[in-house]
Structure 1
Amino acid sequence: MDITVFSEDDFDTKAWVNKILEEGEKQDKKENYTMSLVMKLQLYVQQVNKSLEETSQEVLSSLPKIIRNTKQLQEEAEALRLKMSIVQEEITRIENETGKSINTIEKLDDMKNKLEIAKQGIHESDNWDILVNDLEDVFDTKNIEQISRKILGMQQSLKLLVNVSDYEVRKMQLEGLKNRLEAIASPLIVQAFTSNSTDNAKIYTEIFMSMERLPQLMKYYHKCQKEVLLKKWRASLEKDQDDTVTQWMHGFYDLLISNWHTQTKWFNQVFKNQSSTDFLIEIYVDVLTSMDPSFNECIDASLKQVGDKLAMLQEIKQTMFQFCNNLNNVVKQTTQGKVDSAKLLILFQTVCNPFIVYVNKYAAYEQAYLLKKLSGINFMQEELSDTIQNLGLSVTSVMDIARESKYRCADITENCGYCGLLIALRAFFSNYVDHFRVALRQIERNKKNVEDWTTLQLCFSLLQISGDVMLKVKEFEKELTETVLGDLNRKFDDVEFKYLILNKDDRREIESLVKCVTEGTKLSLLDHVTNEFVSLCSDIHDTTYQVVLSPISSQLSVVQSAKTWAQFANSTFHSSDMPDYSLSPQEYITEIGQYLMTLPQHLEPFLFRENPSLAYVLRAINEEYSITDDTEGALATVFLKLVAKGTCQAFSDKILCICELNYPASRQLSHDIGYLSNVMQDLGLTLSENLQQLSILLKIPADQYQSQSSGYSARNVAAVRQMRNIPSN
């Protein structure tokens, strides 16, 4: 049995008993188990009682000794207190008796110190003059160590002569001597720093540190390192003239990394208690901004000689950021991660600074590349049908080219050139639209005034291809927007790339773009492209409409001709008392009727079947299509309504142009209108209100015209009266 739980502060008797009894339920004989537990607890109680009794006896037996020791300790403490009181009284008595003597001794000691200072000042003043006289002779020997010792002695003397009247003169004299020493030592210092001579450099460091001129010495080191690195850059260009600019950059960057390792070790040996990282960062920033020729000059010269400028810029960018990454790792290893992030940012910005101008020009580079790729696609053919077929086949290739530009922008500019990419894409798609317009102009030139179903099919094919492009552009635009929302603030070591490779104006522009998209502003990244395609599709639709309507207009041209109605001038067959069913429609209107009845068959491949591209573009260019549902034939019905509307309008216009019409001819014309109405009813269409009025007005007898023409359009009433020569009351 585990009884250690009894000693716990939060021991719960009920919980412990329940737990023990639950374990007992697993036993065959519960009563025996319970009796055994009770006996064990009684034995434990007896043991605890025995132990308590023994402990109590031991404590009682030791109490007399403890009491005696306590009493003895109290007596000793009282004796010590008495002695301390006696000593304190003795100290107070001595202070009272000797206080005046101590004050006198303190004054005498103060006077002694002042006399010693005055003595030392006089000695140092004499020493100053001696050192000045000796220095002139030592300067002739150009022994730097001896000169430095003399100057150090003068420096120590000057500290003690701070209260003399000519202190400032002596100070200026000392600075002049230090300048003379520095002038003598400078060639040797430059040689030591250039050759990385550790021993000599340490000597000069000690000398300049003792003279309190260490910053001047470190300027020598800065200048020497800068000159060494710049000479190596120029030498590499002269030696490897046939290499590419990326090879030059890569080689120089490797040199800087190697130099960092070497100089960090050397710097820490020579300039102790100084930060090698901060100082080398300053040197590298100075070197990278002082290169002759600069990286930009080399890159510009190379860009003029290469065809694929974007590929070259991608290599340059990778080379730069590979160096930044390597240098970042080296710096953090050197400093164990403790580095001034502000200075490191300045170094990275200096490394990336040559690339800023090319990110600024990215739109022009990308646009030229995209247009070149587009020009490589074969669009135009001798046959118009082949041209339209090529346009259809080009859609996938064109969208692949556009999508590749998005990935290329990420690779080259880390999406910092996104605004430039959008400009290039707009120019790219605008140029693509121009190829569609060329095909449209060919259709317009080939358009005839007779029935031409081939041209109609070409129009619908071109419209469908345009819709396909619009759908893919819309999908592509979503991808561009997702990139803006999620991948436009890429970072390099906790620093956003836009602070490394963008100037202020470009950074402000891309921040504005991100703000507009993230805040839900109605901004379409390719709105210009969409608008151009909508305009194109609208023009294609208009041309399609004209292709369909041209044969009808051609047939209707006979309506306004006097010859058409001259045959009814002396006709008895068309007398007023003959019923309407005895009349027959004329040839021109039957031709139109047959043409309209045939039209739906030629619309079936495009408008009577599921065609998402065509449906999308039609709804984008005309509101009448947008209010239709997705049932089969809904778009065809709208197109037929537009054709019917145009036919009725053209028919009405031709009728109103008739100069003179007798009653038999008037009845015939009304019958022709009725035939057209029947045709349209068969197609599920209706005749226009204007044409229905003209049909009724043309049938009214002359003697009843005044009474039966009321309620109709005044324009139509007057026009029919005039052409029928009906007098007005």
Structure 2
Amino acid sequence: MMVDLSAFSDEKFDPKKWINGALQQRHPQDPVEKQLVDLEMKLQVVSEEIAASLEEQSSAAILRVPRASRDVLRLRDEALSLRSSVASILLFLKKAEGSSAESIATLAKVDTVKRRMEAAYETLQDAAGLTQLSSTVEDVFSSGDLPRAAETLANMRHCLTAVGEVAEFANIRKQLEVLEDRLDSMVQPRLTDALNNRKVNVAQEMRGILTRIGRFKSLEVHYTKVHLKSIKKFWDDFDLRQQSNKFANEKNEAERFSSSLDSHSNLSTISLSSWLPSFYDELLLYLEQEWKWCILAFPEDYKALVPKLLIETMLAIGASFVARINLATGDVVPETKALAKGILDILSGDLPKGVRMQTKHLEALIELHSITGTFARNIQHLFSDSDLPVLEDTLKALYLPFETFKQRYGQMERGVLSGGIAGLDLRGVSTRIIGVQGVELSETVRRMEESIPHVVLLLEAATERCINFTGGSEADELILALDDVTLQYISALHGNLKSLRAVCGVDAMVEHVGTKKEMGSDRKEAASHARRVDFTSTEEEWSFVQGALQVLTVADRLTSRISVFEASLRSTLARLSTNLSLSVYGSNLDQNQSHMDDTPGNGELSIAGRAGLDVAALRLVDVPEKARKLFNLLEQSKDPRFHALPLASQRVTAFAEAVNELVYDVLILKVRQQYNDLSRLPAWTSVEEPSAFPVPSFSAYPQAYVINVGEYLLTLPQQLEPLAESISNSDANTEEAQFFATEWMFKVAEGATALYVEQLRGIQKMTDRGAQQVSVDIEYLSNVLSALSMPIPPVLATFHTCFSAPTNELKDLVKADSGSQLDLATANLVCKIRGLRLE
């Protein structure tokens, strides 16, 4: 058995564990004692070997110590000698430096003089050569050797640069400019022929001549001019087809062909959206061919030369492109097509009043923009080898015709949304026909409720259009438009609420509360409606209640749908914040903001890379101030407390409060009518009439007013059940529906109680007979409240206790209670009403 000594060097060596491991290696039939004895013997032998080896190596080390000491002493002596040598060398160098500094300064002066003399010599040679070149340049031009002429002019330019601004050579400088223009004009015919006939060698030679004389810009201009003619033929093809179709249509109309032929001629009319892809395809094919040819003809310049051609093309057709886009957007709507007008004409306000912006106008514009976007992606792929600034300029030129529309996007979107809101049926309820007002009220509420999802769809569609058309760069204008249009919609709903209040006749009954202030004819109209309600049937009365309760559903759905839309809009804005900031800056928004704050001019924006080449990023780079405001808005949208529609959110809340107020006024209207002039009822001041027969001194039954109120309150839960069921669409909402019904039931009951207490406080005088009667009325109302599981207010209980007590016992009752169960203020008031004075 071999002994492994490596485990002994481990800091966590465990002897027991090591012995157990060694014993596990024994044969099962061998006794443990024998194994332990062998192991001990081997360990002892190994330890003796280690001790012997250690002793031997220690002896050898002791013998080497004297030799090492001698080596150390020798190295120390050599180090001292080396230090002395280095010190002497340094002293010598210092002496040499002092003597050579003057020599070096002298040599520097000599070198300066030499270089000046050489420069003067070269200048004299250039001046002599310039004079010679000026005298022989005409002979060179006469020979027709254009490369030699270019070389001569380049040498003249070099000589003029060398001699500087010398008056004697001013004429030669002017002569040089004339000669360069002359050579440029001589190159152009050959360059034109080379470009038209695809002569690579000639094109390269002409390019070399222009480059030699510093006229590369002339090459770009001439190259663009030659090919722009061919490309404009593609663009003018649209007008030619339109004129041809117009002529055919006029001919068909003059000859009065059959209806089938007429329809066929109408179908042949070309739309810009159907023609534009073919134009882009032809243009792309043309540019691909030019790209391949320019790689051979102009290998140093093709990456900028072909994109320059496309840029100049878009600039040349830009105004025509905008006009065609405008007309194309008008062709999709019959009203604007008949006038041959488009979006820009609608925005200018020059069209008749009935003509307004429609969704189809924007959809047509977005379709054309999408077609251009496809072409832009193909161009970006074709010009992928070009420098990033060249790509940026090219893509900006492609989208330039749409910039006019994007700058007015907010106005366009506001017009579309306003038209959508105006198209909704939000008529208020009519107040002219008596007897069917409840039905009309329900119909009005139905129209209000059905309009909510339509409005939300309009808002969502507007958000999608903004992303598709502007890439989110006009998100700030979108939010303003959405907010304004939502306010317009909510204002229409508020108008309906006013008509509902007028029909229900609640304004005349609550004017004393101070929450509604009608003036003039409005107040008279409201009072008239209130009188109408008094004479309607019970069924009509409950139809008002049901219609008013349905308005709660309108408020609830409006609040929830607007809230959900706002959350979705915040999510969209947060996504735009990430995408746009990465495209423009290539870093997180916080770093972007600090970068913008640190740079002059409110931030110098730039595209983060080729991945950021999209229309939105390109627009923002050109308008840093707008970009700063937009990024601030997008950053704020990440806050959960941010309201994407700030004004609309406030109006939604105000609308919900107005709805709650209307519903409460309608539900409490019956109570108000019954309690009207309650404090001045004759029953409170009646006295017991003398009779020959014994009769009860008071009525054993409550009066009609409180019976009507009690029956109304007990019937109200049945009226709340349908609305609660409409809210409870699933078992999960059952508790919510029950809470809703209970909440409104309690609210109306509490209001009825408060109105009753208010009327009781207004009683000026009460006889014993009247006190007995009012105590019965209060007891009946208390029983109704108990049936509705409502607690009896202490004030009402105090009224009941004090009115039930005989007059001669009331003072003692109040004094004995001392406020433990009675409301002292109310008790004192009852005493005053019953003619008692508490001392």
TM-score, with length taken from structure 1: 0.68
1:565 aligned partner, one-letter code: W
1:578-589 paired onto structure 2 within 5 Å = 583-589=700-706
1:440 matched residue in structure 2: 497
TM-superposed CA distance for 1:684, in Å, is 0.9
Q: Are 1:370 and 2:417 an aligned pair?
A: yes
State which structure, 1 or 2, has the greater radius of gyration over its C-alpha atoms. Answer: 1
Structure 1 contact 359–413 (Cα < 8 Å) conserved: yes
Give the deviation of 1:126 after TM superposition. Answer: 8.3
The match for 1:458 among 547, 550, 562 is: 547
In the alignment, does 2:675 pair up with 1:545?
Answer: no
Counterpart pick for 2:760 among 655, 659, 684: 655
Structure 1 alignment gaps of length 5 or more:
1-117, 333-337, 617-628
Q: Distance in 2 between matches of 1:156 and 1:554?
A: 110
Q: 1:318 aligns with which of 370, 391, 399?
A: 370
Check the 8 A contact 1:552/1:592 in 2, yes or no. Answer: yes
Q: Which moved more, 1:430-439 or 1:453-462?
A: 430-439
Which blocks of at least 5 consecutive residues in structure 2 are unaligned?
A: 1-119, 244-269, 330-340, 344-357, 431-439, 505-529, 584-609
SS in 1 for 2:145: helix
- Give the number of aligned pairs: 586
Q: What per-residue deviation string (whole Å, max 9, x for no partner) do you get for residues 666-718 of structure 1?
A: 22112211111111111111232222222233334444444433435565345
Structure 2 Cα separation of the partners of residues 193 and 150 of structure 1: 16
Correspondence for 2:301 among 275, 300, 305 = 275
> Following the alignment from structure 1 to structure 2, what is the Cα–Cα distance between the partners of residues 340 and 573?
120
Q: Is the 8 A contact 1:459 1:543 kept in 2?
A: yes
User: What letter corresponds to residue 495 of structure 1 in structure 2?
Assistant: L
Equivalent pair of 1:485/1:514 in contact (CA under 8 Å) = yes
**Displacement, 1:278?**
2.0
How far off its partner does 1:483 sit? 3.0
* Cα distance change, pair 549–573 in 1 and its aligned pair in 2 (3 A): farther
The answer to whether the 8 A contact 1:609-1:633 is kept is: no
Q: Does 1:512 align with 2:549?
A: no
> Relative to structure 1, is the Cα distance of residues 654 and 286 closer, same or farther in structure 2, using a 3 angstrom cutoff?
same
Residue type at the aligned position of 1:311: E
Aligned to 2:287: 260
C-alpha distance in 1 between matches for 2:720 and 2:122 = 119
RMSD: 4.4
Cα distance, 1:454 vs structure 2: 0.8
The aligned residue for residue 293 of structure 1 is 319
Contact preservation (8 Å) 1:281, 1:343 = yes
- Amino acid in structure 2 at the alignment position of 1:261: E
User: Is the CA contact (8 Å cut-off) linking 1:391 and 1:436 kept in structure 2?
Assistant: yes
CA pair 585-359 structure 1, distance change in 2 beyond 3 A: same
2:180 maps to 182
Q: Determine the C-alpha separation between the residues in 2 that align with 1:573 and 1:630.
A: 61
What residue is the counterpart of 1:499 in the other structure?
617
Contact 2:273/2:368 (<8 A) preserved = yes
Question: Contact 1:285 / 1:347 at 8 angstroms: preserved in 2?
Answer: yes
Q: Which residue of 2 aligns with 1:680?
A: 785
- State the shift of 1:600 in Å: 1.5
Q: SS of the residue aligned with 2:789?
A: coil
Is the CA contact (8 Å cut-off) linking 2:671 and 2:709 kept in structure 1?
Answer: yes
The amino acid that maps onto 1:568 is V
Offset of 1:537 from its aligned partner?
2.5
Which range is displaced more, 597-606 or 700-709? 700-709
Task: Provide, for residues 129-160 of structure 1, a one-character-per-residue CA deviation record: whole Å limited to 9, x for no partner.
Answer: 66544445666x5x5427x6467458669989
Structure 2 match to 1:598: 715
SS at match of 2:735: coil
Q: Give CA deviations for 1:303-340 in whole Å, capped at 9, x if unaligned.
A: 542653211220231132122112112213xxxxx431
Asked whether the 8 Å contact 2:441–2:544 carries over to 1, the reply is no
In 2, the alpha carbon distance for the partners of 1:660 and 1:167 equals 118
Looking at structure 2, the residues matched to 465 and 130 of structure 1 have their Cα atoms a distance apart, in angstroms, of: 97
Q: What residue number does 1:607 align with?
A: 724
C-alpha deviations, 1:444-482, integer Å up to 9, x for none?
122255562111111112211332343333333443333
Q: Distance in 2 between matches of 1:574 and 1:651?
A: 35
Q: Distance in 2 between matches of 1:697 and 1:219?
A: 107
Deviation at 1:654, TM superposition (A): 1.4
- d(CA) in 2 for partners of 1:154, 1:415: 54
Amino acid at match of 2:377: N
When normalised by structure 2's length, the TM-score is 0.60
Matches within 5 A, 1:158-307: 175-194=173-192, 196=195, 198=199, 201-209=203-211, 211-215=212-216, 217-218=218-219, 220-221=221-222, 224=225, 228=229, 239=240, 253=280, 256-265=283-292, 267-271=294-298, 274-289=300-315, 293=319, 295-296=321-322, 299=325, 304-305=341-342, 307=358
Q: AA paired with 2:668?
A: L
1:350 is aligned to 2:405: no
Comparing 130-139 with 226-235, greater Cα deviation is found at: 226-235
The correspondence for 1:472, drawn from 553, 561, 579, is 561
Stretch moving more, 222-231 or 442-451: 222-231
Contact 2:765–2:833 under 8 Å retained in 1: yes
Contact 1:388–1:462 (Cα < 8 Å) also in 2: yes
- Please, which of 466, 487, 492 is the counterpart of residue 430 of structure 1? 487
Structure 1 residues 482 and 574, CA gap change in structure 2 (3 angstroms): farther
Q: Verify the 8 A CA contact 1:249 1:319 in the aligned structure 2.
A: yes
Amino acid of the structure 1 residue aligned with 2:635: K
Matched, 1:385 2:442: yes
> Which residue, out of 365, 368, 387, partners 1:340?
387
Q: Is the 8 A contact 1:433 1:533 kept in 2?
A: yes
CA spacing shift, 1:574–1:684, aligned 2, 3 Å: farther
The one-letter code matched in structure 1 to 2:216 is P
Alpha-carbon spacing, 1:535–1:221, altered in 2? closer, same or farther (3 Å)? same
Matched AA of 1:586: Q
C-alpha distance 479-714 of structure 1, shift in aligned 2 (>3 A): same
Of residues 643-652 and 216-225 in structure 1, the stretch that sits farther from structure 2 once superposed is: 216-225
> What residue is the counterpart of 2:829 in the other structure?
719
CA contact (8 A) 1:409 1:421 kept: yes
Is the contact made by 1:363 and 1:424 (CA closer than 8 Å) also made in structure 2?
A: yes
Measure the CA separation in 2 of the matches of 1:631 and 1:119.
103
Aligned-pair distance for 1:270?
Answer: 4.8
